[in-house]
Amino acid sequence: MSVLLEVNGLVAGYGAVQVLQGLDLHVNDGEVAVMLGANGAGKTTTMRAISGMIQRKGTVRFQGASISGTSPNEIVRLGIAQVPQGRGTFTDLSVEDNLRAGAYIRKGASVEDDLAEWYDVFPRLQERRAQKAGSLSGGEQQMLAIARALMSKPKLLLCDEPSLGLAPIITQELFAILGRLNTERGLAILVVEQNANLAMKIAHSVFVLETGTIVAAGSAEEIANDDVVRKAYLGY
Amino acid sequence: MGQLLQYLINGLAIGAVYSLVALGLVVIYRGTGHLNFAQGEMALFATFGAWWIYDHGATMWFAVLTAASFSFIVGGVIEFTLMRPAGKKSPLTVVIVSIALFQGLNSLTTLLFKGSADGLPFPSLFPNKPGDFFRFGDETVWKYQDIGVLATVLILTALLFLLFKKTKVGLAMRMVANNSDSAKLVGVSTTKILMLSWGISSALGAVAGAMIGGINTNITTATMFEVFLLSSAAATLGGLDSPIGALVGGLSLGIIKSLVSNYPEDWPGGSYIGAPTAIAVAFVIILVVLLVKPSGLFGSTRVERV
């Protein structure tokens, strides 16, 4: 199993505030990695540092090549798509324009095929294709954000707290879809999640983040059997 | 009745110029959230440039197209060299830089075209001899010049609309306008899009300058100030982020100004309403509209569920 994304000694923050204090993590080809951590631990900062949205130090390697100095609009071309926290849909644009926006880096007729394919996976989006994205429900917007990311044909999907503000049943549906994207299509996913129990079900590996560093890492089983982590994040 | 129609028609041409400058303001506002105070003076500089090219023996069309193309590049350069570094400081810095640019370009124009304070004769792009008009009925005429201005503005608006709605670069511009972070995440070079927006806006201004020059038959270093004032009002009236709003806002303002200017003195309030107070009355009307509809006639009130 080869390493797709490798992060070493990642340091990042906002202005004078340093949030990440030398963070290491990796995502293998075809696997789902879950990042757990309390509010303020640095999960979103990690995601934004990987996708190049904020200044960072340390090494970030994707498919063996360094992307530490690469800008976000180039990183997505290499095959990393991010679903940002709070969904980040283009609220004034129609659902279909949002999806076309996702395919911004691509050319050719295959975009239309993909559009049809994701409408198949997310039928609600097809029903609302002409509607402004801002008028969709939270769950629908999250589906749209994921579908938009997929339109760039990524090798790695970064999902930043997809369950935020959603009803439990929608969250379950969402993770079922993420799980299927991984098992059926071999898509590698790095997902940040507060709902640890749900996320662990689709995870291959787990990283636990506390105040800017990884405090525990291992396979999903190892972490589930770690008493300290289990009590703190799984609640039993 | 015929007279009323005449005033409406008269207002359309000048209103179209307001629309064009307002469109330029909207294009930049959508991308950056800033009002470009230098929009009018950038256009002024370009218009004097067009006159200079014409004065050196070129045709008027060639002169205006060259000035507009040059403005396109200059607009991008201004964004890159002045506005972007300013934007990294604070929104107030951007305002100050654009006001400085406003003043600086006006002074530069005065300096380069010394002795033209009384105005340079500016030829129209369209036939504008005494008999060049259509006649409706007995008392209404529509000058070819005014039709030309209106047609030019409508065509440019339509092209801009097609750019926004039908092209990939237009989609990218709409993305940047709506959510700049997400635009980056899907692969848009937001910096290039902002340069392009400034370029388009600046080129639209250059065309607007040539139009107002043709209407007034001369240009002075003060020409664009009133145009800018009314155009920014037009953009506000239409809704600062709406291209259609800019078009409607500009045309409405032109018509209102023309009607108020010709308000009969023996009508109620006739001693107060007239040419000298036309702009004031126009602004009162805008104020009332904004009180009722704060986002402007076509401005987006964001529909957003969370």
User: Has residue B38 got a pLDDT over 70?
Assistant: yes
Q: What is the pLDDT of residues B133-147, one digit of tens each?
A: 888 877 788 889 999
Contact A137 B305 (CB under 8 A): yes
Q: Which of A209-223, B102-116, B158-172, B287-301 ranks highest by mean pLDDT?
A: B158-172
The nearest CA of chain B is from the CA of A130 a distance in Å of 14
Could you report the per-residue pLDDT of B243-276, keeping only the tens digit for each? 999 999 999 999 999 998 888 888 887 777 887 8
Which residue in B30, B176, B185 has the most chain A C-beta atoms within 10 A of its own C-beta, making it the best mutation to test that interface? B185
pLDDT at A102: 96
Asked if the Cβ–Cβ distance from B303 to A88 is below 8 Å, we say no
- Flag if A97 and B174 touch (Cβ within 8 Å): yes
pLDDT surpasses 60 at A128: yes
Q: Do the Cβ atoms of A88 and B189 come within 8 Å?
A: no
Chain A residues touching residue B172 (CB < 8 angstroms): 104
Between A203 and B117, the higher pLDDT residue = A203
Report the gap between the CA of B42 and the closest CA in chain A (Å): 30
Nearest Cβ partner for A165 among B168, B302, B306? B306
Give this complex's ipTM.
0.92
- pLDDT for residue B300 is more than 80: no
Which residues in chain A are contacts of B186 at CB distance < 8 A? 76, 101-102, 104-105, 148, 152
Cβ–Cβ under 8 Å, residues A206 and A43: no
Put simply, the answer to whether A152 touches B175 (Cβ < 8 Å) is no
**Is residue B299 scored above 70 in pLDDT?**
yes
Interchain CB distance below 8 Å, A104 and B304: no
pLDDT at B201: 96
Question: What pLDDT score was predicted for residue B305?
Answer: 54
pLDDT category, A1, cuts 50, 70, 90?
low
Chain A / chain B CB contacts < 8 angstroms: 82
Set of chain B residues whose Cβ sits within 8 Å of the Cβ of A90: 174-175, 178-179, 182-183
Mean pLDDT computed over B71-92: 93
Q: Which of A178, A173, A181, A180 is nearest to A191 (CA)?
A: A178
Nearest chain A residue to B166 by CA: give it: A97
Determine whether the interchain pair B189/A76 forms a contact, defined as Cβ–Cβ distance below 8 Å.
Answer: no
Q: Please give the mean pLDDT across all residues of chain A.
A: 92
Mean pLDDT, residues B171-189 taken together:
94
How close does chain A come to B175, measured CA to CA in Å? Answer: 7
Q: Which residue of A has its CA nearest to B304?
A: A134
List C-alpha distances in Å: A199 to A144, B34, B295.
20, 42, 43
CB contact under 8 A, A101 and B306: no
Q: What is the pLDDT of residue B272?
A: 78
Average pLDDT on B68-84 reads 96
Cβ contacts of A118 within 8 Å, gap of 6 or more: A99, A125, A147, A150, A151
Contact A3, A26 (CB under 8 A): yes
With a pLDDT cut of 90, the percent of chain B lying above it is 61
**Contact across the interface for B187 and A93, Cβ inside 8 Å:** no
The predicted structure's pLDDT at residue B117: 64
Taking contacts as CB-CB distances below 8 angstroms, the residues of chain B near A73 are: 184, 187-190
Q: What is the pLDDT of residues A49-96, one digit of tens each?
A: 999 999 999 999 999 999 999 999 999 999 999 999 989 999 999 999
For residue A16, the model assigns a pLDDT of 83
Q: Quick one: pLDDT at residue B157?
A: 94
Q: State whether B189 and A90 contact (CB < 8 Å).
A: no
Q: Is there a contact between A88 and B181 if contact means CB atoms under 8 Å apart?
A: yes
What pLDDT, on the 0 to 100 scale, is given for residue B115?
A: 62
Residue numbers in A near B179 (CB within 8 A)? 88-91
A152 neighbourhood in chain B, CB within 8 Å: 186-187
**Is a pLDDT exceeding 80 seen at residue B303?**
no
The C-alpha of B11 sits at a distance from chain A's nearest C-alpha, in angstroms, of 33
Chain B residues near residue A97 by CB distance under 8 angstroms: 171, 174
Angle of CA points B81, B85, B87, to nearest 5°: 125
Separation of alpha carbons B261 and B146, rounded Å: 18
- Of the two residues A199 and A235, the one the predictor is more confident about is A199
Q: Do the chains contact at A134 and B171, CB–CB below 8 Å? A: no
Quick one: closest CA in B to A150, which residue?
B186
Residue B279 CA: distances (Å) to CA of B226, B255, B285? 9, 12, 10
What confidence category does residue A216 fall into, taking pLDDT thresholds of 50, 70 and 90? confident
Q: Do B305 and A136 touch (CB under 8 A)?
A: yes
Per-residue pLDDT band for B231 (boundaries 50, 70, 90) equals very high
Inter-chain touch B171–A88, beta carbons under 8 Å: no
What is residue B24's predicted lDDT score, i.e. its pLDDT? Answer: 96
The pLDDT value given to residue B116: 64
